[in-house]
Amino acid sequence: MRTQYLFGTLFCLNLLNYIDRQALYSLFPLLQIDLQLTDLQLGALASCFMLVYMCYAPLVGYLADRSSRPRLIGLSALLWSGATLACGAACNYISLFIPRALIGVGEGGFTTIAQPFLAEHYPAKKHASVLALFGLALPVGSALGYMLGGLIGHHWGWRIAFMAVGIPGVFLGLLAWLGLKDVARETQSPKLRPTLKDYFPLFKNKPFLSVCFAQAMSTFVMGGLAAWMPMYLHRYLGWDTAQAGTRFGGLVIICGAVGTLLGGKLAARWIEKSSTAYYKLISIAFLAALPFCWLTLCATHEALVLLGLAAALTLLFIPTGAIAAALVATTSENIRSMAFALNIFIIHLLGDAISPTLVGWISDGWSLKAAVFCCTLMLLPGIWASSRTAHSI
């Protein structure tokens, strides 16, 4: 029962984590008109969040290896929810930019801690399936963010949309602070807690770094698609804000759920037969996703666009559980929070901290279609890194 309560609380927080993060993107057309913003400025709202998110992760990873993780989780939720509410009160670009960046502090704190904390409560053979189920919050929460942002923004305005998605996190943050227990930290001797030199081997851990790099390339692509596909559908298919947000959100829910759960099951079964299963699954899924990404951009018929997008999203979500399980498998428990923090830093530094802004920049100078195409090419080095590791182990 304690494990179920832990999973339920963390999953709900993870769901809100992605709802609050992604709601912004459905509101891009409304913000652009109301605050008179360029595509570059809109992209920078996504990038500022990621820059703060990734830079804060190592600090909270260091704290999490030494202190009560439930309190850090609760405080993180309260912080990102409060910042989301502040976005709804923005009166100009700067007053929107600053709280958007602060959301990165709260969500960076939660994401760094939650997965390794959860993994400690399950046997190793269940890590891929459990972490895939936990990762289901990414597509579902992202989709709900698009849908809620688009619908509420379309009918009641972007300010109400930010406030509606921000309020629930306040209550869940208090629940995590008061209801979760960190038995491992409470019983751990101070002598067993890691020192800074204990983290140095992470930088020589080739399988760990390979997973981080491959995930970074996927994050680059997913970050670009997450930020700009609602706008892409708005421009090229003529959908309004509500249609683009809800339909793209619906695709993310269905395809993300199918891909994440299917990938978790495949990884859990394959790892019993091959020690390189996680890396092979990553490379195969990314390679298969590329043609469908390009079909989405080349097609002019609405049905083909949606078909290509659905297949690409499903394949991009398949490695979710394998990536998380590989990170757990390649690191020791006493430094795992910092390992996940370093992973967050790498994947966002090379990934979605820069891709939304780059897509916006290329779009301003060329076209949004060309910008998204360039974004998808970053899957190629991810395929190379994961397949190379699979052959070298």
Q: Cα separations (Å) of 214 from 129, 219, 281, 385, 388?
A: 20, 9, 12, 6, 11
Mean pLDDT of 57-73: 85
Three-class secondary structure assignment of 240-276: CHHHHHHHHHHHHHHHHHHHHHHHHHHHHHHCCCCCC
Residue 191 has pLDDT above 60, yes or no: no
- Angle at which helices 241-270 and 277-298 cross, to 10°: 150
Which of 136-145, 206-215, 310-319 has the weakest average pLDDT?
A: 136-145
* 57 has pLDDT over 90: no
Confidence band, pLDDT 50/70/90 cuts, at residue 381: very high
pLDDT band, very low/low/confident/very high, at 188 (cuts 50, 70, 90): low
- Rounded CA gap, 145 and 165, in Å? 8
- Give residue 222's identity as a one-letter amino acid code: M
Alpha-carbon span 315 to 376, nearest angstrom:
13
- 367's CB contacts (< 8 A; 6+ apart) are none
**Average of pLDDT values for 67-76?**
88
Phi, psi of 239 (to 5 degrees): -80, 150
157: left (phi over 0), alpha (psi -120 to 50) or beta: left
pLDDT digits (tens, 9 = 90+) for 163-180: 999 999 999 999 888 888
Burial of residue 94 (number of CB atoms within 10 Å: 0-12, 13-18, 19+): exposed
Rounded average pLDDT over 18-47: 87
* For residue 228, pLDDT beyond 70: yes
Backbone angles phi, psi at 301, to 5 degrees: -80, 135
Percentage of the chain with pLDDT > 90? 44
Q: What is the pLDDT of residue 249?
A: 78
Query: Which of 87-91, 192-196, 247-251, 313-317 shows the lowest mean pLDDT across its residues?
Result: 192-196
At 252, is the pLDDT very low, low, confident or very high (cuts 50, 70, 90)?
confident
Taking the C-alpha atoms of residue 390 and residue 372, their distance in angstroms, rounded to an integer, is 29
pTM of the model: 0.79
pLDDT digits (tens, 9 = 90+) for 112-157: 888 888 888 788 778 888 888 898 888 888 888 888 888 899 889 9
Distance of CA 177 to the CA centre of its chain: 23
- Average pLDDT of the residues in 52-63: 87
Q: How far apart are CA 12 and CA 78, in angstroms?
A: 14
d(CA 231, CA 209): 34
Confidence of residue 343 (pLDDT cuts 50, 70, 90): very high
Average pLDDT, the chain: 88
Domains of the chain, each with CATH number or no CATH? 2-179+201-392 (1.20.1250.20)
User: What pLDDT score does 184 carry?
Assistant: 60
Burial 276-309 (b: 16+ CB within 10 A, else e): bbbbbbbbbbbbbbbebbebbbebeeeeebbebb
Give Rg (Cα) of the chain: 20
pLDDT-based confidence at 286, cuts 50/70/90? Answer: very high
Tell me: pLDDT of 189 over 60.
Answer: no
Own/partner pairs, 273-279, CB within 8 angstroms, 24+ separation? 275/393, 276/389, 276/390, 276/391, 276/393, 277/322, 278/128, 278/211, 278/319, 278/322, 278/323, 278/325, 278/326, 278/329, 279/207, 279/210, 279/211, 279/214, 279/326, 279/386, 279/387, 279/389, 279/390, 279/393
- Residues 363, 356: Cα–Cα separation, whole Å: 10
Per-residue DSSP letter, 239: -
Mean pLDDT throughout 343-357?
87
Q: Which of 10-19, 128-137, 150-159, 229-238 has the highest mean pLDDT?
A: 10-19
The percent of the chain in helix, strand and coil, each rounded to the nearest 5, is: 85, 0, 15
DSSP structural state of residue 68: -
**Of the candidates 127, 136, 165, 134, which has an alpha carbon nearest to the alpha carbon of residue 27?**
165
